[in-house]
Amino acid sequence: MNEQFDPKRKLSRRTFLIAGGSAAFAVALAACAPPAAAPANGGAAESAAPEAAAPAAEAEEISFLVRTDIRNAYAADAAAESWSQEFPDRKLILDEPAAGTAVNTKVQAAQAAGDLIWDGYAVIALPWDTATWVKQGLIQSLDDYIAASTIPNADDVIAGIIPTVLESTKAEGKQYAIPGNVGSVALGWYNEFLDEAEVERPLLTWDDVRVASEKVHAQHPEINAFDRPATPLTDLVGMIWGATDTPYTNDGLIDWSGEASLAAIEWMQGMVADGLMPAISAGFGTWLQKGTAIMSSYDVHGTLAQQSHGDGAADTGINMRRVADEARAGAPFWLNGCVVLDKANNPQGMTDFFLWWFGPQNKAMGKQIADVAAKPAYQYTYDEFIKGVPKHAWQLEGIDLVRNSVPFQANLTWGIETAAVKTWLEKALDPANDLSAADAMASAQEEIQAEIDEML
C-alpha cells in the first residue's frame, strides 16, 4: 500500500460514487464561485492509462472545456480574447459542460468512440481526482509538452509553483495538471460575536477555539458557537494535520486510529456534550446567515462572509493546531488543476495555453486569481499582487502554511476512507450512542479495509 496508486487495480462502484462529492464542493468554494454540480463518477477503464505521446505538431485550433464556475472565477473569456490577440493563428474555443453533466463519463465515452472534441478541461480537484482520472484513461501527463513549449517564460511557470503545490500535481513522478489556485482548511470567525464575548484574535489552537466557543455560547446560546461544514475534511482531517508530523500510516492511509485522531475526536465529543457545536454540521449556509460564530472550513469562508455582510464582518485564520508553536503537518490542502485530455487533437496547444494563462507575463490572470479565486499557486503572483495588500494578508499566511504542509497522497482511497470515517465519526459525536473514539475508528478502519480488499 505504499505506492501512490496501482493502475491495475479494479475500482468498485462505491469508490467512484464517493470519490468526488466533498471535493467538488470544496473546489468550487476555493474558487469563490457558485458550486458546480458534483459529477457522478462511473465506469473505470479496465486497462491502464496510456503513456503520453510525444508532442504533436501544432494544430491551429484549441478546444477547451471549462466548468462554469471556473470560467467566471478565472475570467476565461477575457483570457481567450487576449490569447487570440497575441496568437491570432492559434484559435481557442471555450465550451462548458451542461448542468448536471458527468464530465469524466462524457469524455471517456467520446474517447472510446474516437470523436473527442476537447483538448483540455478545467478543473479537477488535485490530488483527490488524479489517480481516478489517470486510471480511467481520461488525462495524460504534461511533462513532454511542457518541455517542448515555445511559449515565452514557460520555464518560469513550473519553477514558480509553490513546491508542495507542484508535488500535488503529480502522480508517480509525472505532472498531470497546471494548477490555478489552492484551497485549504482554515479557521474563520465573525468579528462581532468575538468582540461581544471579548475574545482575543487570532484563534489558533484547539484550546483557543474551545475557550472562544464557551464565551460566545454564553453571549449567544441561540447560534452555533463552533461548526465545520464538511466532515471529516474540515474537522477531523484538519485536526490530525495540526496535531502530528505523520498524518499517514506506512500503508498510505490517513492515521485514523492514531493518537492525534483519537484526541481530536474526544475534543469534538466534549464540544458537542457542552453544546458548543452540533453533532452533525448545520452547514455552510448557516455560516453565511451568521448562525455560526466560529468555523473550521474551506479557507474562503471569511471572504464569502464579507461579501454577504460587508468588509470587516469576518476574518480568516489558518488551520487550527494542537500546540501554538507547532504547525506539525500544517493544513490539508487541495488545488484546482487544468488538465490535458488523453487522445486530445492538440495537446501541445492546450498545454501552451495553460502555460501562457498562468505565466508571470499574464498580469490580468495573476490579479484575477489574487482578487477573486484566492490563494494562487505561483510565488510570482504573491510577490506582485498579494504581498503588502492588507485585504489579501490571509492568503499569504495561508499559503505559507501550505508551503510547509504534508500534501495529500494521489491514491484511490480518499473517497473510501472519508465515507467510512464520516459515518463513524457522526456516530461517535452523537452522545446517545456512547461510542468511544477508539471504537468508532476501529469500525471505520474495518470498513475501509473491506472496500480496499474489494477493489484489489
- The reply to whether 126 falls in a domain is yes
- 66, part of any domain: yes
* 355 in a structural domain: yes
* Phi-psi group of 283: left, alpha or beta (phi > 0 → left; psi -120 to 50 → alpha; rest → beta): left
Q: Among residues of the chain, what percentage have pLDDT more than 90?
A: 86
Please report whether residue 368 resides in a domain. yes
Indicate whether 276 belongs to any domain.
no
What HEC string does 77-114 produce? HHHHHHHHHHCCCCEEEEECCCCCCCHHHHHHHHHHHC
Average pLDDT, the chain: 89
Q: What is the pLDDT of residue 60?
A: 77
Q: Residue 450, exposed/middle/buried by CB under 10 A (0-12, 13-18, 19+)?
A: exposed
**pLDDT at residue 27 is higher than 50:** no
Taking CA 308 as the corner, what is the angle to CA 237 and CA 207, rounded to the nearest 5 degrees? 35
Least confident of 32-46, 191-205, 251-265: 32-46
- In this structure, the chain runs to a length of 456
Global pTM value: 0.89
Range scoring the smallest mean pLDDT among 54-63, 105-114, 118-127, 287-296? 54-63
How many domains does the chain contain in total? 1
The answer to whether 154 and 346 are in contact (CB under 8 A) is no
CA-to-CA separations, 336 to 73, 410, 431, in angstroms, rounded: 11, 14, 38
* Domain interval for residue 372: 13-183+333-403
- Residues 6-19 have pLDDT tens digits of 433 443 333 322 33
Cross-strand partners of 139:
341
Q: Is residue 32 over pLDDT 90?
A: no
Report the CATH number that the domain containing residue 166 is assigned in CATH: 3.40.190.10
CA distances from 190 to 177, 187, 223, 274 (A): 36, 11, 12, 21
Residue 228 lies in a domain: no
Tell me how far apart the alpha carbons of residues 72 and 59 are, in angstroms, rounded to a whole number: 27
243, pLDDT greater than 80: yes
Cell numbers placing 299: 479557507
Query: Is 251 within the bounds of a domain?
Result: no
Tell me, what's the pLDDT at 11? 38
> Which residues, including other chains, have CB under 8 Å from residue 446's CB and lie 6 or more apart?
none
Nearest to 338 by CA among 41, 133, 155: 133
Tens digits of per-residue pLDDT, 386-441? 999 999 999 999 999 999 999 999 999 999 999 999 999 999 999 999 999 999 99
Mean pLDDT of 315-341: 98
- Does residue 84 belong to any structural domain of this protein? yes
Tell me the three cell numbers of residue 361: 507575463
pLDDT tens by residue, 137-188: 999 999 999 999 999 989 999 999 999 999 999 999 999 999 999 999 999 9
Residues 6+ positions from 98 with CB-CB distance below 8 Å: none
Segments in 87-230 forming alpha helices (H)? 103-113, 130-135, 143-148, 154-160, 163-167, 191-196, 206-219
Distance of CA 385 to the CA centre of its chain: 22
Q: Is the model's pLDDT at 49 over the cut of 90?
A: no
